[in-house]
Structure 1
Amino acid sequence: MPTAYVTAPPEAAADIARTLVEERLAACVNRVDCDSTYRWEGEVHEEREVVLLCKTTDAGYDALAERVVDLHPYDVPCVERFEEDDVFAPFAAWRADVVGPE
């Protein structure tokens, strides 16, 4: 099962996280404040951002990634997939139960 790693500006992060969980695209989204240094359009920027760790399923990942792009204020949002080889079985079962159609 994958976790999607997403970064977002602080003013958008909570809404993105809540929408993903409400729409059953993620079982849980952790929000972690961070400072980001990145190059954009030829210049180096430093900004406050929020890392969103979005717990989803294999079947749900593509829809989650598409929804993040729809909701996100950036032209090119960071959406990366992390594969998990070893997940606590009860957690994996819970996640599989709450992601997707009811």
Structure 2
Amino acid sequence: MIHETERTAAAYAAVLTTCGDRASAKALARALVERQLAACVQMLPIDSIYTWDGKIEEAAEILLICKIKRADYEAVEKAIRALHAYATPEIVMLPIAQGFGPYLAWIDSVTR
């Protein structure tokens, strides 16, 4: 039997992306969960400062934290790119190095 923390290093990740408003963030989050690509998507309001087209910009955004199986990353990225309003959306995968076994089992149970 694989120890719960051993399987997490390779099996799960959090994908970060941002949206410009709550409505589009909610629509994207719902689509990922309905397609069983994400077990859970958390949405947090943030203030972003970044360089775009040679200028420093500031924007209020919604940060999405999507809990996924790492094996589904390509499908998650494809879905975000298809549904996102930004020309160049943030899509960053952070591997989960360790996690609570029952929570990770839940991710397995609700994703494809």
Q: Which consecutive segments of 4 or more residues in structure 1 shift more than 2 A?
A: none
Kindly indicate whether residue 61 of structure 2 is the aligned counterpart of residue 49 of structure 1.
yes
Within 5 Å, give how 1:49-88 maps onto structure 2.
Answer: 49-88=61-100
The percentage of aligned residue pairs carrying the same residue is 34
Query: RMSD of the alignment, in Å?
Result: 0.7
Residue 52 of structure 1 aligns to which amino acid in structure 2? L
Aligned length: 100
Q: TM-score if structure 1 supplies the norm length? A: 0.95
Q: Can you list the C-alpha shifts for 1:54-82, whole angstroms capped at 9, x where unaligned?
A: 00002211101110011000000000000
Q: Can you list the C-alpha shifts for 1:28-63, whole angstroms capped at 9, x where unaligned?
A: 000000000011111111001000000000221110
What are structure 1's unaligned runs of at least 5 residues? Answer: none
Matches of 2:72 and 2:18, distance apart in 1: 19
Q: TM-score if structure 2 supplies the norm length? A: 0.87
Matches of 1:2 and 1:65, distance apart in 2: 13
Considering only CA atoms, is the larger Rg found in Structure 1 or Structure 2? 2
Kindly indicate whether residue 13 of structure 2 is the aligned counterpart of residue 2 of structure 1.
yes
What are structure 2's unaligned runs of at least 5 residues? Answer: 1-11
Residue 3 of structure 1 aligns to which amino acid in structure 2? A
